[in-house]
Each structure stands twice: as structure tokens, then as C-alpha cells.
Chain A
Amino acid sequence: MPKATFELFRGNSGTGQLVPYETDVSEGMVVLDAVHEIQATQATDLAVRWNCKAGKCGSCSAEINGKPRLMCMTRLNELDLAQPVTVEPIRAFPHHKDLVTDLSWNFRVKQQIRKFTPRPPDAPDGTWRMQQEDVDRVQEFRKCIECFLCQDVCHVLRDHHLHEEFIGPRYLVHVAALEMHPLDTLDRRDELRKAHGIGYCNITKCCTTVCPESIKITDNAIIPLKERVMDHAFDPIVKLVGMVRGTIAGP
């Protein structure tokens, strides 16, 4: 059987190195298969997260030959196996061990976002009426499997480490899903501008490029939210009317 070499990052808390492992490869294999083979036979304490192996749970995010990918959806025949394949942990969060990163920041951020708050039901039996065309765009956002590859690749987090000021593309999608939800009644535009840091996004679209669910993060979530924030905070007519009505504070 043909073989290939995988260089896996081994180490703790950010220090370590790429260690080469050779393993058999066969038709249809994905990177996660190779990692499992290596783990079972050569590196039994290799730390790696995975769960479904079908691109649905978002557990196996990694950087493969430098590209943020799900290991279970990266087929070996997409890669040049004449060279070693590097597999590294995602970089935008504190490293724990080998291929495992501390993702807890993401869960804390979600907690800070004001939750879904629906209007009263439309029908006496407690249900609502919505048309498919009203739910289509939010359904796109709710395909998110929380793989955090978009968070990983965003330079605001990855390079500038602005985790205290910017919630990242995943959570901008989450806010978009709430703001555009036909039933939700809250207005999150103030916090988008301030605490959530939407201004930091400068539309480089790396997030959109890496999303395994092909969610149009920038075009369908972030840009519309930016426009809403702009209208709300900076449109002079809207501001004037708002000040007269008392719904917007003065300058």
C-alpha cells in the first residue's frame, strides 16, 4: 500500500514542533483517517478532537498545509502526498495540547449576546405563521456547525488578538440570525457597534472562504448588519427623527 508522511504538531501550551509520521494511505481516505491510524499505532496519547467524521459536528477543525479545514472533510486526493502534509491546531485561541485548542472564549462570547426574544404567538394555539421566504436567509445562518474555522482565520482575532473587543464572524452570524429572525423583537444594533465590535471587520472575507457550510458570512450576515448599524447610529435623517421622538439619544 502506498504511504504518506504527516507532520503533526506535538506539544503543550504553544510550545512544540511538527513530528513526522508515516502511514498507509488508500482510496477515499480523509486526513482524519490518517490521524486516527497514527494515533492508534504510533502516538497513542495524541490529543485530537473529533466526533462525527461526517462534517456535521465541527469538532475536528485544524490547519492542514496551512489552510483551516475540517480534518474529516479533507480528502487525501486533494493534497500533494509527495510532500509531507502538515496538520496543526487552529491558531486564534490558546493552544492546549497537540491538535487541541482551548475554545472556551467562544462559549463565553455566546453567553454575552442577548437571546432570542419572540413576539407573542400569531395563533390561539400558541404557534406562529412564517413563510418559507421569510425564514430562508436565517436558515442559511443556522447551518453553522460552530467549527470556529471562521474565527480562526479572521485577522482581528488571529493576528491582532482583539478577543476582548470583537466577537468574530461566527457570532456576527449568530447576531444576524437573531436580528433577521422573523419573530425576534430585540434590537442589538447598539451592542453590535460597541461591545461586539462590528466596526473591526474590514470585509477581507477570509471567513467566507473557509466556511465548510458555505455560509455567505460577509455578504449575507456582516454587511447587512453593518448597514443596519450605520442607519441606526449615523444616518442624519434617522437620527433627527429619532431624537425628536426620543428613541435616539442626542450627539
Chain B
Amino acid sequence: MTEIQTFDHDVLVIGAGGAGLRAAIEAASKGVSVGLVCKSLLGKAHTVMAEGGVAAAMGNVDDRDNWRVHFTDTLRGGQYLNNWRMAELHAKEAPDRVRELEAWGALFDRTADGKILQRNFGGHRYPRLAHVGDRTGLEMIRTLQDHGIHQGIDVHMEVTIVTLFTREGRVAGALAYDRERGRFRLFRARAIVIATGGVGRAYQITSNSWEYTGDGQSLALQAGAALQDMEFLQFHPTGMVWPPSVRGILVTEGVRGEGGVLKNSEGRRFMFEDIPENYRAQTADTPEEGWRYVTGDKDARRPPELLTRDHVARCIVREVREGRGSPHGGVFLDIAWIRERLPKAAEHIRKKLPSMYHQFKQLADIDITTTPMEVGPTTHYMMGGIRVDGDSQMSTVPGLFAAGEAAAGLHGANRLGGNSLSDLIVFGKRAGEFAADFARANPAVAPDGGEVKEAARDALAPFDRPTGESPYAVQHDLQEMMQDLVGIVRTESEMIRAVEGLVRLRQRAARVGVSGNREYNPGWHTALDLRHLLTVSEAIVSGALARKESRGGHFRNDFPEKRAEYAGFNYVLRPGADGGMELGKEPIAPMRDDLKALVEEFK
């Protein structure tokens, strides 16, 4: 085996989306050497897809807003399974992080008095999301990229991490390959930040990009770290459903924030028929009041289309199952109707939602200014992930940090829209800061040479089986199985079949083969991604089977209600003795009294 090129960094950041870039920038600002590894080209991580906005209680549109309301909104949305310390820090620090983006060149839409404009979004009491049209994710990642490239960070583009190494109980480094030539690289680092995003590519219908194969969660578990809340997967209510090739692509909640309404095949706004008790006091009684809310009337309450995503998604599933769906198996999302209320409505829609307009026109031949869209649930976001300390974002393995979607805790059982972009910059910054501190305080430990060689050999194994089964086929079958058996509505018998299915898929994955050579060989890359996909799929099913209740994004047909005995703890997964995973419970620490008082006050 040829020599492996080695890179030494104080801090290694894995993933260059919003969280990874922000972490790398922060670590670099503390004077340590930083390496940033990304699977795709710089600036093209999944963050680029985020549309709605970044939630921060700046109070620019409604001065009744402040961190306390944001904090309690986040907990209510998370069904109180959140890490409350993270929710506190997030609400307090998001405004500063957003203002910092502006200092780095981000250009958000403006209010009439020249401040950053904020829009309404599901689950947020006041208009809170700073945005740029419907392309806020692009704005964020581009701003961080353009700032980051001048901070002395070493960027390793199109490089994929294969495994992490630990020594003496803490992180030592990682083995990776470059996609271009397939050569291995050994990264030695004193601290590692995982910011690899979510797991949507384990499902057939998803809004997630190619790179979302659960790498970070899987790498962390293999390295000994605990995962948490893996049963809480968010199915965004409005993904495209037709034509088949665009199924799953996101239709931003911002459409509903601008007045878009959901209707079934009978033309009814079915969301009005099912408003949950704990949101009733904050939700409009009539369509008229709902419209007044989206146009900025401070005395009006939000329309039921802006209830939390888990609830809206389940309502849509119910309409479809009961035969009131749209022709292609979704429901109708209609923004065209606002021409009854606004002059120049078409222009307004094209200005506020340009990429939605473009997406539907180009991919589905539909003009959203005249015609309703067909939408349905799509696998969108993983609330669970690597268990971390709220302040430092360090996992249960010393020196291993996580931030962004790959980390767990902030969002509890269900995430509010807009809270992900803010999550990235608040906790990306913290993870980078504390990773730098850790690197300064701890000497480097070298990964074991034997382990490195073994990992490289193992990664090349698929080439020994050129006639083995195609890795694409295994991924396809996994996606179909998870979509059918561990989707938005879960049942014990189906999930048990999924567990058995995963055993068979693991066996197939261990025997997949690839042909050709190591140069830019996506078949080989997919074969390696399979390990991560299978690990996170197993984690999702384990949590989903154990939690015998319905809460937030996790809904069980056989236990359709929230159950008190399942409140107050998170399901945690740790590596098991035989290479599998072991499930345990971690009680949620009692909330600080001042924060408890806030929750009561804003109930």
C-alpha cells in the first residue's frame, strides 16, 4: 500500500455548510490551525437549499419580540424534549450572529426604516425570520464562504471522511479519501467538529441533497460517541409531488407565510378543522383573521397553515388517506388566491418567492401566480443526532464536537422553521470556539498506524468484488424500505420488519462490489456511504420502536397520543458490545427556575 499523505491541524472541521464554515471561522479567529473538509465543492453544501429565513429575536418588525418569546416558542415546538440550555443560548445569541453576517456582507431584505426585515413562520409567535426573498440559505453560505476564505483555513474540497480515530480516550484524527483521485489522506487533529448535516438520503422521498447520508452521526457512534433523539425525523409538509422526478423537492413554508393556504380536493381549508389544544389560543379562528396576520396585523393570530410542521404534515397525510387528496397524492397549496386581496398579486408573489416561481415553472410547468401547487410530506430534517453539551457542543468523546443538524438537542421532538439556519451560526460558532480551546489545552495524540492501515484496506474492499452487487441497488432498496416502514406514520409490526430488513441490507452492503478504478468513482463512494446510511437507519428504527407514544415528528399509529411517562427523557444510543448499538434513557436535567417561569408566562 502506498504512503498516505498526512495533514496536521489543531482543529479539523468536517462539513462546510453553515455550521461547519462558522465553526472553522471561529476556530481560525482564535489563532489555531484549522482544516475544513467537505464532500462537495465549497459553497454547495445543503445549506444552500434553505429558503425561509434565519430566526432571531431582533424585534425589527414587532418590538414585542425578544429572546424569551423565541426560547418558549422553540420549547413548545420541541414538545419540551429540547435541551433547554441550548434553546436559551440559541434565542439569546441568534441576533448577534445574524448581525455578524451583515457585517460580513450579507444583504437581507429591509424594513421601511432600513433594518433587517423579518417574516412570519410556523410556530413563531412574532415575525422573526431574517431573509432574502426565498434564498436565505444561499445568502448565508455564500457570506460565510466569502468571509471564510480569507481566514487562513485550509480547505480540503471534495474529500470524504471514512473513519475517525481515537487514542487515550479522545480524538486523534480521521482517514479520508479525495473524490478526484481516490487517494487516502490522514488528518491528525487535536479537536474535531462534525458538521455533516442530516440523513434524508436514507429515504426515497426527501428534500435533502446527495451528501446527506448520515456520515457524521455514524462516524461519531463508531468513535464511541452517544447519539440522541434519532426517532425524531421531520417530514416537511410541503414537498413537490409531481412530476415523479421532482418528488420531495421543498416548497418553502414561506409560501404559507405570504398567505398561501392548504386545500383538499373538496376545496376546503382543512387545517381549520383540526387545531391542537396547546396552540388554539394563538391560532386564528377565521380565514379573515389568518389573512390579516400575514399582512402584518399585530392583533391577528396566525392561520392554522402556520402551525408546526409535524402537525401540518399529519393533517395532509390524513386528507390523502381519506380520499380528499390532489390528483397525484398530495393536497393543494394555493398562493394565487391572494389576487382577490392584493393588486399586482402576481408581481408580489414573483418578488417574494422568486425561486419557488422558477422551480414550479421550470420543473412542473406550473405558474404559481395563477395555479395551485400539489404538495405532500417529504423527509426533511433530523432533529436527533450526536448528543452534545449545550454550552461547548462537545460530544461524549473528549475533543469530538458537533454542530448543526448533525448535533441533537436544540429542537427536541420537532424543529421550527427558521431555527435551523440560526442553529448553524450560534452553535457553529460555539463548537469552533470550544474546539479551539480544547486544541490549545490538549497535546496531539497520534492515531494508531495499524488502525489507519486497516481502515484504508477496509475502504478498498469493494474493488476486490467487481462482480458483486451494485451499491446503488442496495441504497435504492434501503430508501424504499425506510419510506414504507419507518415513515411519517409508524407501526410496531412494520418497524420490526424494518429491523429484519436492515439485517439483510447490511449483509448485502458487506458484499457490494465496484468496478473501474479509484478516480472519481461514485459507485465506490456509494459503497462507502452505505455503512453510514445503514447505521443511521438502524438508529432511527431503534428509537422509533422504543418510544411508544406520538410526539413532535415521531408519530405512531399504535400509540397516537403523547404519554406522560415518555416526557422528561431522551433516548440515547451508544455503541454496543458486538458492534451494534445499545439504547438507553437520559433524563432531561431539571429546568432552571427563571426559565421555567418563562415557559409558564408564555404558555
Contacts and interface: CB of A to CB of B under 8 A. Distances in A.
Interface string A102-123: 1110010011000110100100
B44 A57 contact: yes
Given A28-B245, A39-B472, A110-B149, A45 B44 contact: no
B139 A45 contact: no
Given A44-B470, A52-B48, A132-B110, A126 B363 contact: no
A67 interface: no
A53 B147 contact: no
B494 interface: no
A76 to B, nearest CB: 9
Nearest to B60: A127
Residue from the set B114, B116, B146, B244 with the largest chain A CB neighbour count within 10 Å = B114
Contact of A56 (B42, B146, B244, B355): B355
A118 B149 contact: no
A128 B114 CA distance: 8
B564 interface: no
A128 B524 CA distance: 49
A143 B523 CA distance: 32
B170 interface: no
Residue from the set A28, A52, A128, A184 with the largest chain B CB neighbour count within 10 Å = A52
Given A107-B157, A116-B147, A55 B104 contact: no
B44 A44 contact: no
Given A52-B49, A75-B363, A127-B115, A116 B142 contact: no
A27 interface: yes
A54 B49 contact: yes
Contacts of B359: 54-55
B76 interface: no
A238 interface: no
Interface stretch (B331-339, B435-443, B514-522, B547-555): B514-522
Interface string B27-50: 000000000000011111010110
Interface in A108-155: 110-111, 115-116, 118, 121, 125-132, 135, 138-139, 142-146
A59 B41 contact: yes
B536 to A, nearest CB: 19
A51 interface: yes
A2 to B, nearest CB: 15
Given A33-B245, A48-B522, A131 B114 contact: yes
Interface stretch (A92-100, A157-165, A188-196, A218-226): A92-100
Contacts of B471: 44
Interface string A15-32: 000000000001111100
Contacts of A45: 514-517, 521-524
A68 interface: no
A51 B471 CA distance: 18
B253 to A, nearest CB: 16
Residue from the set A41, A53, A97 with the largest chain B CB neighbour count within 10 Å = A53
A46 interface: yes
B509 to A, nearest CB: 15
A3 interface: no
Nearest to A99: B520
A181 B105 contact: yes
Nearest to B110: A132
A181 B249 CA distance: 32
B597 interface: no
B150 A115 contact: yes
A142 B107 contact: yes
Interface in B78-134: 99, 102-105, 107, 109-110, 113-116, 132-133
A232 B250 CA distance: 46
B209 interface: yes
Residue from the set A57, A181, A183 with the largest chain B CB neighbour count within 10 Å = A57
Contact of B472 (A40, A145, A181): A40
Contacts of B40: 49, 51, 57, 59
Given A28-B363, A126-B103, A142-B142, A47 B519 contact: yes
A168 interface: no
Interface residues of A, number: 62
Nearest to B104: A116
Residue from the set B116, B362, B515 with the largest chain A CB neighbour count within 10 Å = B362
Nearest to A103: B41
Nearest to A30: B245
A29 B44 contact: no
B107 A138 contact: yes
A26 B245 CA distance: 9
Nearest to A182: B107
Contacts of A4: none
A73 interface: yes
A58 interface: yes
A28 B242 contact: yes
Nearest to A139: B107
A94 B44 CA distance: 20
Nearest to A52: B209
Given A100-B520, A107-B157, A126-B103, A57 B115 contact: no
Contact of A115 (B133, B146, B517): B146
Interface string B356-399: 00110011100000000000000000000000000000000000
A7 B441 CA distance: 56
B363 A132 contact: no
Contacts of A103: 41
Nearest to B247: A28
A59 B44 contact: yes
Contacts of B363: 28, 30, 54-55, 73, 75
29 contacts: A27-B243, A28-B246, A29-B244, A39-B523, A40-B472, A40-B473, A46-B522, A47-B522, A49-B41, A51-B40, A51-B46, A53-B209, A53-B210, A54-B246, A54-B249, A55-B358, A56-B48, A59-B40, A59-B41, A103-B41, A107-B149, A107-B157, A115-B146, A116-B146, A116-B147, A127-B99, A142-B142, A181-B105, A181-B107
Given A27-B243, A40-B472, 9 more contacts: A29-B244, A39-B523, A49-B41, A55-B359, A56-B138, A73-B362, A130-B107, A142-B107, A144-B142
